[in-house]
């Protein structure tokens, strides 16, 4: 039998607020256990939650970025379940009336366009964390994370392979970091996915029983967990068994999923509106205020770079792969009157290669946009050649400094004096009479030999265009 894979993702995006969604406690990562949990977070009697407005605005920002409907009225509900790291015994979440309804994520898989529909994106608080390794023979509870604001982004089951799921997750990750609502740090759990996976016979219009794989915090684990789960479900079905609806965990050490608990349905959570929180009313003026501070989206920026700057699709795609990189490119091109194409070449070539070698991100790049812009200006005005510019780049990278000062102090100015170039060419022609004769006999390749020798003699500082002109005239006799 041929099987079709059906995948939907629920992505927990930790919002980049400084305080929690219903209290003033800090959301900073890495603090000592239970030092960032207020009376609200640990659910002491008599305390009341107060909604963090910034979290709502981040949800609106996401809804606008994916073309979703922003609900003018949304409510918070209590989602009841009992875990040691959930002190209230319920999670404040949204269910029937979330802030964001619908929307679409667009991405490429093997250069082919795909899109996945979003069901909703709702606000909720995170739970605490169980600590299994810090205390021998016991489990500790850290409530620092309790109450951290999350935007849970729920997709429709539109994906048909692990590769599609990973591409979707990467596109979503790029978007939420691009619009500044999440730092995207997967190691710290700021962006983690639950994958709902099922299989069905090809041609069937009925979904199979799904299993949910929880808390996948790397794209690699997401792909491997789905691939294992698909194989497991097919093997069970082809052996005459049936799939049990359950929640499973992925074990990266054994590269397998294993059962965690039976999967609850929505009715098991006994949702009801939280009586301590009023409905959230979002009018059009609020939405427009949020829209006004939205950055251009990656696709908009890519189209602008191609249209206005004549960049290739490849260069534009590479530059918009990271908002900080795109911001750097814009900063360079607006610093001085520099060629955007030449700027893109330096950015996608020398700069990214140097960052990769040093294992740095663009945020920690030792060369500022102002320095790179000045370097490009000096290439364009003929002060230095492209080859010499790489030497200047290396000095700026390792020692810092000002571009003109580096060029002057190291004697790197390009030689554009025709008389000096002629003198070098005359000396070479005297030294290599046989090669001159070969050129004049029609062996054009010898021209490159003289270019190389001239550049070597000058330390690479001759103006290439002028050198070519002088050489052609002299060699022609």
Mean pLDDT by 10 residues, the chain (477 residues): 96 98 96 95 94 98 98 96 90 95 95 95 96 86 96 98 97 96 95 97 94 94 97 96 93 91 76 96 98 95 95 93 94 88 95 96 95 94 89 95 94 86 92 91 90 88 87 87
State the pLDDT at residue 263.
Answer: 66
Prediction pTM value: 0.84
Hey, is 213 helix, strand or coil? strand
Among candidates 123, 200, 239, 236, which has minimal Cα distance to 248? 236
Tokens (6 digits) for 95: 């269910």
Give how far Cα 160 sits from Cα of 217, 233, 234, 236, 454, Å: 20, 15, 14, 19, 60
- Give φ, ψ of 270 to 5 degrees: 45, 55
* Nearest-10 crossing angle of helices 53-65, 162-178: 120
- Per-residue b or e along 155-180, where b marks 16 or more CB atoms closer than 10 Å to that residue's CB: bebbbebbebbbbbbebbbbbbbbbe
Q: Are 261 and 246 in contact (CB under 8 A)?
A: yes
Q: Give the Cβ contact number of residue 249 at 10 Å.
A: 15
Position 132 scores a pLDDT of 84
Q: Calculate the alpha carbon distances from 98 to 63, 173, 282, 389, 466 in Å.
A: 11, 21, 12, 54, 67
Q: Annotate 214-231 with DSSP letters as a single string.
A: EEE-SHHHHHHHHHHHHH
The whole-number pLDDT of residue 82 equals 87
pLDDT at 155: 98
Q: Is 277 helix (H, G, I), strand (E, B) or coil?
A: coil
**For 266-304, b where at least 16 C-beta lie within 10 A, e where not — what string?**
eeebebeebeebeebebeeebbeebeeeeeebbeebbee
Q: Say how far apart CA 104 and CA 154 lie, in whole Å.
A: 11
Instruction: Using alpha carbons, select from 55, 44, 39, 32 the residue that is nearest to residue 144.
Output: 32
Q: Quickly count: other Cβ atoms within 10 Å of residue 189's Cβ.
A: 16
């Amino acid at each position: 039998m041929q099987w079709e894979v059906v995948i939907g993702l629920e992505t927990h995006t930790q919002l980049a607020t400084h305080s929690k969604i219903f209290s003033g406690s800090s959301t900073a990562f890495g603090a000592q256990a239970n030092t960032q949990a207020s009376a609200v977070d640990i659910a002491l009697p008599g305390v009341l939650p107060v909604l963090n407005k910034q979290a709502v605005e981040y949800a609106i920002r996401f809804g606008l970025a994916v073309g979703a409907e922003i609900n003018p009225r949304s409510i918070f509900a209590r989602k009841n379940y009992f875990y040691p790291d959930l002190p209230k015994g319920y999670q404040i979440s949204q269910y029937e009336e979330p802030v964001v309804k619908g929307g679409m994520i667009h991405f490429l898989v093997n250069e082919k366009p795909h899109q996945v529909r979003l069901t909703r994106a709702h606000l909720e608080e995170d739970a605490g964390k169980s600590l299994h390794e810090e205390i021998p023979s016991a489990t500790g509870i850290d409530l620092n994370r309790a109450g951290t604001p999350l935007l849970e982004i729920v997709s429709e089951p539109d994906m048909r392979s692990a590769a599609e799921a990973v591409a979707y997750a990467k596109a979503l990750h790029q978007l939420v970091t691009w619009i500044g609502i999440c730092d995207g740090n997967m190691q710290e759990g700021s962006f983690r996915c639950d994958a709902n996976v099922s299989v069905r016979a090809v041609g069937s219009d009925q979904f199979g029983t799904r299993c949910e794989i929880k808390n996948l915090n790397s794209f690699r684990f997401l792909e491997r967990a789905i691939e294992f789960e698909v194989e497991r479900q097919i093997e069970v079905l082809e052996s005459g068994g049936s799939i049990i609806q359950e929640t499973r965990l992925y074990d990266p050490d054994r590269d397998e999923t294993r059962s965690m608990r039976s999967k609850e349905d929505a009715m098991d959570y006994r949702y009801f509106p939280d009586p301590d929180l009023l409905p959230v009313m979002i009018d059009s003026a609020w939405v427009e205020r949020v829209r006004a501070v939205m950055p251009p989206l990656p696709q908009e920026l890519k189209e602008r770079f191609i249209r206005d700057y004549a960049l290739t699709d490849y260069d534009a795609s590479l530059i918009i792969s990271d908002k900080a990189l795109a911001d750097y490119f814009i900063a360079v091109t607006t610093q001085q009157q520099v060629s955007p194409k030449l700027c893109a070449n330096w950015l996608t070539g020398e700069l990214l290669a140097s960052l990769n070698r040093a294992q740095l991100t663009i945020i920690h790049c030792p060369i500022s946009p102002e320095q790179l812009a000045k370097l490009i200006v000096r290439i364009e005005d003929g002060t230095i050649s492209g080859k010499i510019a790489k030497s200047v780049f290396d000095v700026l990278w390792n020692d810092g400094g000002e571009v003109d000062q580096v060029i002057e102090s190291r004697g790197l100015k390009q030689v554009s004096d025709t008389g000096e170039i002629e003198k070098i060419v005359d000396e070479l022609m005297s030294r290599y009479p046989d090669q001159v004769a070969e050129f004049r006999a029609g062996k054009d390749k010898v021209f490159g030999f003289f270019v190389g020798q001239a550049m070597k003699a000058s330390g690479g500082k001759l103006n290439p265009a002028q050198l070519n002109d002088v050489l052609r005239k002299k060699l022609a006799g």
